[in-house]
Copies of this chain bind each other. A is one copy, B any other.
Protein backbone atom coordinates (compact mmCIF):
# COMPACT_ATOMS: atom_id res chain seq x y z
CA UNK A 1 0.00 0.00 0.00
CA UNK A 2 0.93 3.63 -0.12
CA UNK A 3 2.82 5.52 2.52
CA UNK A 4 1.22 8.09 4.70
CA UNK A 5 0.02 11.00 2.56
CA UNK A 6 1.82 14.29 2.70
CA UNK A 7 -0.16 17.37 3.65
CA UNK A 8 -0.40 18.55 0.05
CA UNK A 9 -1.52 15.14 -1.15
CA UNK A 10 -4.13 14.99 1.54
CA UNK A 11 -5.50 18.33 0.50
CA UNK A 12 -5.60 17.35 -3.13
CA UNK A 13 -7.62 14.31 -2.15
CA UNK A 14 -10.00 16.46 -0.15
CA UNK A 15 -10.35 18.84 -3.05
CA UNK A 16 -11.22 16.04 -5.45
CA UNK A 17 -13.76 14.60 -3.02
CA UNK A 18 -15.41 17.97 -2.74
CA UNK A 19 -15.50 18.38 -6.50
CA UNK A 20 -17.00 14.93 -6.94
CA UNK A 21 -19.62 15.59 -4.31
CA UNK A 22 -20.46 19.00 -5.71
CA UNK A 23 -20.75 17.75 -9.26
CA UNK A 24 -23.03 14.95 -8.21
CA UNK A 25 -25.32 17.09 -6.08
CA UNK A 26 -25.34 20.05 -8.44
CA UNK A 27 -26.55 17.75 -11.17
CA UNK A 28 -29.01 15.95 -8.95
CA UNK A 29 -30.68 18.87 -7.22
CA UNK A 30 -29.39 21.91 -9.03
CA UNK A 31 -26.72 24.36 -8.08
CA UNK A 32 -28.93 26.78 -6.22
CA UNK A 33 -30.87 24.12 -4.42
CA UNK A 34 -27.73 22.52 -3.09
CA UNK A 35 -26.18 24.05 -0.01
CA UNK A 36 -22.50 24.00 0.71
CA UNK A 37 -23.24 22.08 3.88
CA UNK A 38 -24.78 19.36 1.77
CA UNK A 39 -21.82 19.27 -0.57
CA UNK A 40 -19.42 19.02 2.35
CA UNK A 41 -21.50 16.33 4.04
CA UNK A 42 -21.64 14.29 0.82
CA UNK A 43 -17.85 14.36 0.85
CA UNK A 44 -17.74 13.44 4.53
CA UNK A 45 -16.43 16.87 5.46
CA UNK A 46 -17.75 20.21 6.62
CA UNK A 47 -18.14 23.62 5.07
CA UNK A 48 -14.78 24.69 6.41
CA UNK A 49 -13.13 22.31 3.97
CA UNK A 50 -14.88 24.01 1.09
CA UNK A 51 -13.70 27.48 2.03
CA UNK A 52 -10.22 26.15 2.62
CA UNK A 53 -10.16 24.91 -0.97
CA UNK A 54 -12.35 27.28 -2.92
CA UNK A 55 -13.00 30.96 -2.85
CA UNK A 56 -16.77 30.80 -2.96
CA UNK A 57 -19.65 28.71 -4.21
CA UNK A 58 -19.14 30.22 -7.63
CA UNK A 59 -15.49 29.29 -7.42
CA UNK A 60 -16.49 25.73 -6.69
CA UNK A 61 -18.64 25.60 -9.79
CA UNK A 62 -15.86 27.08 -11.87
CA UNK A 63 -13.45 24.49 -10.52
CA UNK A 64 -15.76 21.68 -11.58
CA UNK A 65 -15.86 23.03 -15.09
CA UNK A 66 -12.14 23.54 -15.16
CA UNK A 67 -11.50 20.02 -14.01
CA UNK A 68 -13.69 18.73 -16.80
CA UNK A 69 -11.57 20.51 -19.35
CA UNK A 70 -8.63 18.26 -18.69
CA UNK A 71 -10.82 15.23 -19.41
CA UNK A 72 -8.37 12.85 -17.92
CA UNK A 73 -10.51 11.12 -15.37
CA UNK A 74 -13.67 9.03 -15.33
CA UNK A 75 -16.93 10.59 -16.37
CA UNK A 76 -19.01 9.53 -13.45
CA UNK A 77 -17.71 10.61 -10.09
CA UNK A 78 -17.63 7.93 -7.49
CA UNK A 79 -17.45 5.08 -9.97
CA UNK A 80 -13.78 4.93 -10.78
CA UNK A 81 -13.92 1.18 -10.92
CA UNK A 82 -16.80 0.34 -13.22
CA UNK A 83 -16.95 3.22 -15.66
CA UNK A 84 -13.96 4.51 -17.50
CA UNK A 85 -15.79 6.32 -20.25
CA UNK A 86 -14.37 9.77 -20.72
CA UNK A 87 -16.63 12.76 -20.72
CA UNK A 88 -15.85 13.45 -24.30
CA UNK A 89 -17.61 10.31 -25.38
CA UNK A 90 -20.35 10.01 -22.88
CA UNK A 91 -23.49 10.59 -24.80
CA UNK A 92 -22.29 8.74 -27.83
CA UNK A 93 -23.22 5.63 -25.95
CA UNK A 94 -26.84 6.63 -26.19
CA UNK A 95 -26.70 5.45 -29.76
CA UNK A 96 -25.61 1.94 -29.18
CA UNK A 97 -24.96 0.06 -26.02
CA UNK A 98 -25.37 2.54 -23.25
CA UNK A 99 -28.28 0.69 -21.75
CA UNK A 100 -26.06 -2.29 -21.34
CA UNK A 101 -22.87 -0.63 -20.19
CA UNK A 102 -23.96 2.41 -18.23
CA UNK A 103 -26.40 2.57 -15.37
CA UNK A 104 -29.20 4.93 -16.33
CA UNK A 105 -29.17 6.91 -13.09
CA UNK A 106 -25.61 7.95 -13.78
CA UNK A 107 -26.32 9.03 -17.32
CA UNK A 108 -29.28 10.93 -16.02
CA UNK A 109 -27.31 12.62 -13.30
CA UNK A 110 -24.52 13.53 -15.64
CA UNK A 111 -26.87 14.95 -18.24
CA UNK A 112 -28.53 17.05 -15.61
CA UNK A 113 -25.18 18.32 -14.41
CA UNK A 114 -24.20 19.33 -17.94
CA UNK A 115 -27.47 21.13 -18.46
CA UNK A 116 -27.12 22.80 -15.10
CA UNK A 117 -23.65 24.00 -16.05
CA UNK A 118 -24.88 25.16 -19.43
CA UNK A 119 -27.46 27.33 -17.74
CA UNK A 120 -24.85 28.54 -15.33
CA UNK A 121 -22.62 29.50 -18.22
CA UNK A 122 -25.44 31.25 -20.03
CA UNK A 123 -25.94 33.42 -16.96
CA UNK A 124 -22.38 33.86 -15.79
CA UNK A 125 -20.06 35.42 -18.35
CA UNK A 126 -16.94 34.26 -16.53
CA UNK A 127 -18.09 30.66 -16.63
CA UNK A 128 -19.36 30.66 -20.18
CA UNK A 129 -15.99 29.99 -21.74
CA UNK A 130 -15.49 26.89 -19.60
CA UNK A 131 -18.54 25.17 -20.99
CA UNK A 132 -17.88 26.41 -24.48
CA UNK A 133 -14.41 24.95 -24.22
CA UNK A 134 -15.74 21.67 -22.94
CA UNK A 135 -18.15 21.43 -25.83
CA UNK A 136 -15.29 22.09 -28.22
CA UNK A 137 -13.47 19.15 -26.73
CA UNK A 138 -16.54 16.99 -27.20
CA UNK A 139 -16.83 18.06 -30.82
CA UNK A 140 -13.16 17.41 -31.45
CA UNK A 141 -13.60 13.93 -30.08
CA UNK A 142 -16.65 13.42 -32.25
CA UNK A 143 -14.80 14.69 -35.28
CA UNK A 144 -12.17 12.06 -34.68
CA UNK A 145 -14.75 9.34 -34.50
CA UNK A 146 -16.38 10.66 -37.66
CA UNK A 147 -13.17 10.30 -39.58
CA UNK A 148 -12.92 6.73 -38.35
CA UNK A 149 -16.48 5.84 -39.19
CA UNK A 150 -16.47 7.36 -42.64
CA UNK A 151 -13.09 6.03 -43.58
CA UNK A 152 -11.59 9.45 -44.08
CA UNK A 153 -14.05 11.06 -46.47
CA UNK A 154 -16.96 12.57 -44.61
CA UNK A 155 -19.92 13.97 -46.60
CA UNK A 156 -19.51 17.38 -44.97
CA UNK A 157 -16.74 19.37 -43.27
CA UNK A 158 -15.76 17.40 -40.18
CA UNK A 159 -16.30 20.28 -37.77
CA UNK A 160 -19.85 20.77 -38.94
CA UNK A 161 -20.52 17.07 -38.78
CA UNK A 162 -19.11 17.00 -35.29
CA UNK A 163 -21.44 19.81 -34.28
CA UNK A 164 -24.37 17.90 -35.71
CA UNK A 165 -23.31 14.73 -33.97
CA UNK A 166 -23.07 16.57 -30.69
CA UNK A 167 -26.43 18.17 -31.37
CA UNK A 168 -27.96 14.73 -31.79
CA UNK A 169 -26.30 13.59 -28.58
CA UNK A 170 -27.72 16.44 -26.62
CA UNK A 171 -31.06 16.64 -28.37
CA UNK A 172 -31.91 12.96 -28.20
CA UNK A 173 -30.86 12.75 -24.58
CA UNK A 174 -32.94 15.81 -23.84
CA UNK A 175 -36.03 14.10 -25.14
CA UNK A 176 -35.25 10.56 -24.10
CA UNK A 177 -34.53 11.34 -20.47
CA UNK A 178 -37.79 13.20 -19.99
CA UNK A 179 -39.90 10.76 -22.02
CA UNK A 180 -38.15 7.43 -22.63
CA UNK A 181 -41.09 5.74 -24.32
CA UNK A 182 -41.74 8.49 -26.84
CA UNK A 183 -38.09 8.84 -27.85
CA UNK A 184 -36.15 5.58 -27.54
CA UNK A 185 -32.39 5.55 -27.68
CA UNK A 186 -32.26 3.93 -31.10
CA UNK A 187 -33.29 7.25 -32.57
CA UNK A 188 -29.78 8.51 -31.96
CA UNK A 189 -28.21 5.74 -34.01
CA UNK A 190 -30.62 6.37 -36.86
CA UNK A 191 -29.88 10.06 -36.88
CA UNK A 192 -26.19 9.43 -36.75
CA UNK A 193 -26.28 7.18 -39.78
CA UNK A 194 -28.47 9.62 -41.66
CA UNK A 195 -26.06 12.44 -41.00
CA UNK A 196 -22.93 10.47 -41.72
CA UNK A 197 -24.58 9.22 -44.86
CA UNK A 198 -23.13 5.82 -44.27
CA UNK A 199 -25.13 2.68 -43.67
CA UNK A 200 -22.30 0.47 -44.75
CA UNK A 201 -18.79 0.82 -43.41
CA UNK A 202 -19.30 1.23 -39.69
CA UNK A 203 -19.20 -1.83 -37.51
CA UNK A 204 -22.47 -1.06 -35.77
CA UNK A 205 -24.39 -0.04 -38.82
CA UNK A 206 -24.70 -3.52 -40.28
CA UNK A 207 -25.91 -4.92 -37.02
CA UNK A 208 -28.48 -2.21 -36.47
CA UNK A 209 -29.64 -2.24 -40.04
CA UNK A 210 -30.55 -5.87 -39.60
CA UNK A 211 -32.26 -4.87 -36.40
CA UNK A 212 -34.31 -2.29 -38.18
CA UNK A 213 -35.29 -4.68 -40.94
CA UNK A 214 -36.45 -7.20 -38.36
CA UNK A 215 -38.17 -4.87 -35.94
CA UNK A 216 -39.98 -2.68 -38.47
B-binding residues in A (CB < 8 A): 28-30, 32-33, 108, 112, 115-116, 118-119, 121-123, 128, 131-132, 135-136, 139, 155-156, 160, 163-164, 166-172, 174-175, 177-179, 182-183, 187-188, 190-191, 194-195, 197
Contact = CB atoms under 8 A, between A and B. Distances in A.
A172 B135 CA distance: 12
Q: Which of A28, A136, A168, A171: most chain B Cβ within 10 A?
A: A171
Contact of A156 (B163, B182, B190): B190
A171 B166 contact: yes
Number of copies of this kind of chain in the complex: 2
A121 B108 CA distance: 12
A165 B30 CA distance: 28
Contact of A167 (B135, B139, B187): B187
9 contacts: A29-B123, A132-B179, A156-B190, A164-B172, A164-B191, A167-B187, A169-B171, A170-B174, A194-B195
Contact of A164 (B177, B179, B190): B190
Given A121-B178, A179-B132, A187 B160 contact: yes
Contacts of A136: 179, 182
A111 to B, nearest CB: 8
Given A167-B172, A175-B167, A156 B194 contact: yes
